[in-house]
Each structure stands twice: as C-alpha cells, then as structure tokens.
Chains A and B, each alone.
Chain A
Amino acid sequence: MRVAYYPGCSLEGTAIEYDESSQAMCEALGIELVEVPDWSCCGASSAHFVNHDLAVALGARNLALAQGTGAEQVTAPCAACYARLKFAEYKLAQEPERLGRMLGRGGVDYHGGMRVASLLETVVCDFGLEAVKERMVRSLGGLKVACYYGCLLVRPTEMPSFDDSENPRSLDNLMVALGAEPVEWPYRIECCGGGLALGRADIVRKLVGDILDEAVAAGAECFVVACPLCQGNLDWRQTEAAAERAREYNLPVYYFTQLVGWCCGAPPHKLGIEKLMTPATALLERQLASSQV
C-alpha cells in the first residue's frame, strides 16, 4: 500500500514524536509513505477564521503536490490538517469554476481528485484491523484506555466521514484489536480547546480538567489520541489542571501510532514515547508482563 504523506507543521516541532511514530508504525505494518514534496502549511487553525477562500488555497496547494506523487490517497496524521485538506477538496468540488480560477491566479494547478484520509482512517479502514492483528508481536494486555477523538477527526459533518460524528468507534475498535480494554465514557468527542491553547490557556485548563475527571471516573489508565492539539492540551496542561483542582491525574496521552507501533514490532526508540510530557514508558513496561499475543 502506497500513500502520499502530509506530516504538517506540528509534526516537525512540538509533535515530533507523532511524525516519528507514524513513520515507524507504517514501516512495521508495510504501508509505504511518500512525503508530499515541498508541502506547505494547511492553514489550520487560522486561515478559515479569516477567509474561507484562503483556507481552500492553502489546502489545494498541498493536494496538487500530493497528486504529483502518483498516489491516489493523501494521509495526514494531524486531525486539523486532515480536516483542512478535506475541506479544500470538498469546496473545490462544490465551486470548481470560481475556485479553480482563484487557484490559477495563485499559481496552483489543481482540479480535485485526491482522496484525503486521516492516518487513523488509513490504518483502520484501508489497511484493516485483521491485517494489523496479523503483524502483532505483543498485545496491550487489557490496558484501560480512554479513546479521545476530539472534534476535527469527525467534523465538519456535511463532508463524508469514515466514522460517526457523535459516537465514533474507530479508535476503540483499533484498541480492542491491540488487546486493550477501552473504557466507556461520555467525553470522547468533547473539545479540548484546540487552537485556544496559546491565547486562552485558562479555557483550555478548564476543558482539559473536565475531560481528565471523566476519564478517571471511567477507570482509564491512559488516553489514546489521533491529533497533536488534543495530545498537547491533554498532556502539557495536565499538571496545571491538576493543580487547579487539587488532585493528581498522571494519565499518559499516547498517539495511536505509538501503541500500534509498540504492538507491531516497531523499534521502541523510534516511537518517541519518552518525549511525551506525562511519564508514559512505565505503564507500557508494566503491560509487557501480560502482553503476549
């Protein structure tokens, strides 16, 4: 399986371990990633705040470059990049003439045709859970995990989606395949505050505190996510939320790529688990005892 790979800006910086683990996981699974040459920012989280044409233009430049690789699908690990690229493809199909002219003036020759997928979708829907299971060398041994989808993975709802917008299951199904026990909890699609992380940290601390409280109440030992904004807010703001509420959480926030990679024999040093802010290696080492397939 060969897909165009759009890492996005966060994965070169604060979410470097999401890039490392995405590549290591795909190598272990046998998914060939071809990085989109000379890719640029997708525009999240600001372009659509200012102008929807600009949001289409920034997305379309990358779709054109992805098409140039010859792959039929472009996959993005980041939920925000995924949503923006999908938005560009969707809008272009709705208004091909006007937007096509706009792109032409902007120096972009693109008329649609790429399938935009999130990396979670590529693994669960295209590669398939049975194929993942075949490659497992260890399981998660009943790890109690809170699957946190956040917002952008399953929205906007007018566009075709790989999962349900109110009750998504793809992460849960993947975790079950890996031998974990996902907890049932009500905050799976609640917003973490996303792009408010820098400008309104007070709001993010409140939202993250609520999410953490619900995960703990449901018996979760950790989170699994598919978005660098979700990961950053839940992980980096965890100690601040704990201080505000005078309690302790200590819930590691794993990217799904780290857990799939860990189970499917990717070299552990390539998964970047030690780069997570809340200590996350001890919990996986504990699982090793009960993790034989």
Chain B
Amino acid sequence: MAQDTKATGAGEKTLLGQVLEISGVHVEHCYQCGKCTAGCPVAYEMEIPPQQMMRMVQLNLKERALRANTVWVCASCETCSARCPMEVKVADVMDALRRLAVEEGVPAPAEGRTMSVFHHEFLEGIKRWGRLNEHELIGMYKLKSGKLLDDVGLGIRLFGKQKIKPWHFAKIRRTEEMAQLFAAALSGESEGH
C-alpha cells in the first residue's frame, strides 16, 4: 500500500516508536523465530499472524497492521509473551496496536467488530455501575452488534440454572467514584517506561 511505504517525515512518529511509547516493548528485538505464531491458539483465524505483525511494526507498515483482524481476534492468553526468547511482550504489543486502531479511527474489520463492540460495552457498564452486570453486557452487546439471535438457547439454559438474574443490578456504593477513576486513568500523563 502506498501510504505504508512512504518515508516517515521528520518529527513523525514511527509505529515502532508509538508501540514503545504505549507499551514499553522493544519490538526491534524480534528476530522472527515464529514461536509466538506457533503457540498462538487463534493464529488460524488471523489475517496476519503474530510474528508477521511484529515485522510490520518494525517496517512501519501501520495501515496494514491496524486494518487486519489480528488485534481483534487475539484472545489475550499471553502464550506468545511467555514463550518469546527475546522477551518481546507480544500480547502487550497487540494491546498497543488495538489502542492505536481505536484512537486513530481505523474501523475494525467485519469479523473484528463484534469484539470491538464487546469491549466498549464492557467498559461502559463498569463505568456506570462499578461492577460488571453480565446480563446487561449481553443485552447491550446483542443490540449494538446486531447478533440478537446468537446463543438464545444458551441464555435460556443459564436463566434456568439461575445464573442470569435480569432484575438484579450490582453496583458500588458511590458510582461517581468510577467516573473519577476513568477520567484520571484516561486523561493523565502518558504512560512512561
């Protein structure tokens, strides 16, 4: 892609630099052994597997890296980080790339959109109540993702086991504490390392 291969202008941050700033991970240490991809349980679903994502960060191929479904398929199991011989925290890099994709308005690809909706609704829920109310998350997720008919049978079985109580909302005593905490974390000094 043309926008990927252009030289980075003076003062413009490279993807390598942005990832380092957000996550503290030195992706330049990666020498492409492929252990991360070999151990990744969901690599088979990724458009670009983990070790190729690391190479794309090194080569500043931002557009292609952020547009791939990879960061939205990652299950965050951290097997990659655990096995990297160079101690590159691959899962932390995935977190950083996902954050960049959100901040820079790169739309999640179709099959990644469901997870993007899930994370958004999850955090909105805990900001509202201080606790995660699973039934609310499930409901909001279904409405916003359009997946209304998925898992209806499972929902009925969970309700039958009294594991879902739609009439009960758990919350902390002063829910305004959550807004304060979110504001402090999201608008504070940038993460330094």
- A interface, CB within 8 angstroms of B: 9-10, 12-16, 38-41, 43, 45-54, 56-58, 61, 95, 98, 101-108, 150-152, 155-158, 165-166, 189-191, 193-196, 198-201, 203, 207, 236, 275, 277
9 contacts between A and B (CB under 8 A): A13-B135, A13-B165, A38-B173, A49-B98, A57-B184, A98-B189, A101-B189, A150-B77, A190-B41
Complex Cα gap A106–B99 (Å)? 21
**Known contacts A200-B73, A201-B150, A203-B73: A157-B134 contact under CB 8 Å:** no
Check if A106 sits within 8 Å of B185, measured CB to CB: yes
CB distance from B91 to the nearest CB of A (A): 8
**Known contacts A52-B95, A106-B184: A200-B115 contact under CB 8 Å:** yes
CB distance from A60 to the nearest CB of B (A): 9
- B interface, CB within 8 angstroms of A: 22-23, 41-42, 45, 73, 75-79, 81-82, 87, 89, 91-92, 95, 98-99, 102, 111, 114-115, 117-119, 122-123, 126, 130-135, 137-138, 141, 145, 150-151, 154, 157-158, 161-165, 170, 172-173, 177-178, 180-186, 188-189, 191-193
CB distance from A41 to the nearest CB of B (A): 4
Check if B180 sits within 8 Å of A106, measured CB to CB: yes
Complex Cα gap A39–B132 (Å)? 11
Contacts of A198 in B (CB 8 A): 114, 118, 137-138, 141, 151
**Known contacts A51-B99, A198-B118: A9-B185 contact under CB 8 Å:** no
Among candidates A9, A102, A155, A196, residue contacting B184 with C-beta atoms closer than 8 Å: A102
Check if A195 sits within 8 Å of B76, measured CB to CB: yes
User: Quick one: closest A residue to B176, CB to CB?
Assistant: A107
**Known contacts A199-B115, A277-B161: A50-B123 contact under CB 8 Å:** yes
Among candidates B42, B45, B81, B158, residue contacting A155 with C-beta atoms closer than 8 Å: B81
Check if A196 sits within 8 Å of B75, measured CB to CB: yes
Among candidates B114, B123, B157, residue contacting A47 with C-beta atoms closer than 8 Å: B123
User: Quick one: closest B residue to A61, CB to CB?
Assistant: B181
User: Quick one: closest B residue to A9, CB to CB?
Assistant: B132
Check if A13 sits within 8 Å of B82, measured CB to CB: no
- CB within 8 Å: A-B pair count: 183
Contacts of A39 in B (CB 8 A): 172
Having A51-B99, A54-B182, A156-B78, one finds 5 other A-B pairs with CB under 8 Å, namely: A106-B183, A157-B81, A158-B87, A196-B73, A277-B157
Contacts of B78 in A (CB 8 A): 151-152, 155-157
Check if B138 sits within 8 Å of A40, measured CB to CB: no
Check if B81 sits within 8 Å of A156, measured CB to CB: yes
Check if B76 sits within 8 Å of A45, measured CB to CB: yes
**Known contacts A40-B172, A50-B102, A106-B180: A196-B95 contact under CB 8 Å:** no
Among candidates B45, B81, B118, B189, residue contacting A203 with C-beta atoms closer than 8 Å: B45
Complex Cα gap A98–B145 (Å)? 37
Check if B82 sits within 8 Å of A155, measured CB to CB: yes
Contacts of A46 in B (CB 8 A): 118-119, 122-123
Check if A14 sits within 8 Å of B184, measured CB to CB: no
User: Quick one: closest A residue to B142, CB to CB?
Assistant: A198
Check if B134 sits within 8 Å of A165, measured CB to CB: no
CB distance from A279 to the nearest CB of B (A): 12
Contacts of B77 in A (CB 8 A): 150-152, 155, 191, 194
**Known contacts A46-B122, A194-B76: A103-B184 contact under CB 8 Å:** yes
**Known contacts A40-B172, A157-B81: A199-B185 contact under CB 8 Å:** no
User: Quick one: closest A residue to B94, CB to CB?
Assistant: A49
CB distance from B151 to the nearest CB of A (A): 7
User: Quick one: closest A residue to B126, CB to CB?
Assistant: A41
**Known contacts A40-B172, A53-B188: A14-B134 contact under CB 8 Å:** yes
Among candidates B137, B173, B188, residue contacting A102 with C-beta atoms closer than 8 Å: B188
Check if A14 sits within 8 Å of B115, measured CB to CB: no
**Known contacts A43-B126, A95-B192, A199-B115: A13-B181 contact under CB 8 Å:** no
Complex Cα gap A48–B98 (Å)? 10
Complex Cα gap A57–B185 (Å)? 7
Contacts of B165 in A (CB 8 A): 13
User: Quick one: closest B residue to A277, CB to CB?
Assistant: B157
Which 9 A/B pairs are nearest by Cβ-Cβ distance? A106-B184, A191-B77, A151-B77, A9-B132, A105-B184, A46-B122, A199-B114, A106-B181, A54-B185
